[in-house]
Amino acid sequence: MTAVVTGSGSALPASLDQQAAWDGFFARHYEGVRAAGRIFAGAGVRTRHAVANPLDEDLSGWSTGARMERYVQEAPPLGKQAVAGALDSAGLAPGDVGLFAVATCTGYATPGLDIRLAADLGMPPGLQRLLIGHMGCYAALPGLAAVGDFVTARGRPAVLLCCELTSLHVQPAQRDLQQVVAHALFSDAAAAVVVQPGAGTGRRLAGVVARTDSSTADLMTWDVTDLGFRMGLSPRVPDVLSRHVGEVVDELLAAAGLRIGDVAGWAVHPGGPRILDVVRDELGLAEEQLAASRRVLAEHGNCSSATVLLVLDELADVDGPVVVMAFGPGLTLYAALLLPAG
């Protein structure tokens, strides 16, 4: 039994122009930080999405409890829209789902988003659920691996939802360039995929490879504080990724008897412009092979775990093998191979 991605859906809150966000809020927020304007301008982001628009409301002094209350208000409608769209594109009803997995690192509540959405969507009471928490930007791929294993073992469809509301975690003004980078990049989105057993159309999950370099764990962090979740993002991250991305992709492709030249599409998580530059250079790719990732970064920003699913959607018409890659705390690299079903 094979696990095949047969549907996808997404939901985005209101758009926010990057320059307007700088002019109307962050220029004042980071007044006196000389590099801040340059960082915003060079982030590769033109527009992004926010449930909490800093031009309308300043959450930087909110407690974590207040931010979590807002998450419970804002996340379910976006998650519901994304999942409903994915089910519709796959031709399934909520009652057909055997496993519902939700990945998020930007909000927590009990009952969780998985329970709230399952009930609201009308999924069956015997539904199995999986919450994938605090893994960060790469969470979509271990999530995809988990739902793929369920589909293969149980012969029932599964849904993976990634829902991230990073705008709820704007931090108090500090002379910290890592915070400037985070605020220049991150955005909100929900994205979902449906995985079915043995489907004749769609993309078959053919392999997953993971690599964690625990010696560099302090270079990317996501800490729970009294004032929301705070990102640590070292400028050394691209250099660490450059040491591992080649071997990860080689391992993934070799298991399927493929080489880099056989890959028709690259869905690479756009953690930032330098991340994409490293992937391009280490794998010897042409710039146009990362066009989908650059486009998602420019139009939507870095939406944490949901981002790579948005990039994958951009490659919907690509015929042939597709490599999906994402990176996050650990430092961790994940890669998945999708092949045409049938």
Q: How confident is the model at residue 289 (pLDDT cuts 50, 70, 90)?
A: very high
For residue 316, give both structure tokens.
Answer: 């919907």
pLDDT one-digit tens code per residue, 298-316: 999 999 999 999 999 999 9
Tell me the sheet residues that pair with 164: 189
Residue 165 pLDDT > 90: yes
Residue 209, pLDDT above cutoff 80:
yes
Whole-number percent of the chain with pLDDT over 90: 97
What pLDDT shows up at residue 319? Answer: 95
Q: Tokens for 31?
A: 């007044």
> Which one is catalytic: 105, 137, 163, 303?
137
pLDDT over 70 percentage in the chain: 100
What is the average per-residue pLDDT within 126-136? 96
Contacts of 226 (CB under 8 A, 6+ apart): 63, 64
Amino acid at the residue 177: L
pLDDT value at position 175?
86
For residues 270-277, average pLDDT: 96
Contact 13, 47 (CB under 8 A): no
Split at pLDDT 50, 70, 90, the class of 252 is very high
Task: Report residue 271's pLDDT band, with 50, 70 and 90 as the boundaries.
Answer: very high
Determine the pLDDT at residue 342. 76
Tokens of 227: 């004032």
- Find all residues with CB under 8 Å of 81, minimum gap 6, and list them: 9, 11, 190
- Region 323-331 average pLDDT: 95
Token pair belonging to 339: 């092949």
The pTM of the full predicted model, rounded to 2 decimals, is 0.97
Domain architecture of the chain: domains with CATH: 3-197 (3.40.47.10), 203-340 (3.40.47.10)
Antiparallel, parallel or unpaired: β 158-165 and 188-197: antiparallel
Distance CA 124, CA 70 (A): 27
Instruction: Look over the chain and give the mean of its residue pLDDT values, rounded to a whole number.
Output: 96
Residue 1 has pLDDT above 90, yes or no: no
The count of residues in the chain is 342
Residue 51 predicted with pLDDT over 90? yes
User: What's the average model confidence in pLDDT over 201-207?
Assistant: 98
Q: 137 catalytic, yes or no?
A: yes
Average pLDDT over residues 205-216: 96
- Whether residue 163 has pLDDT greater than 90: yes
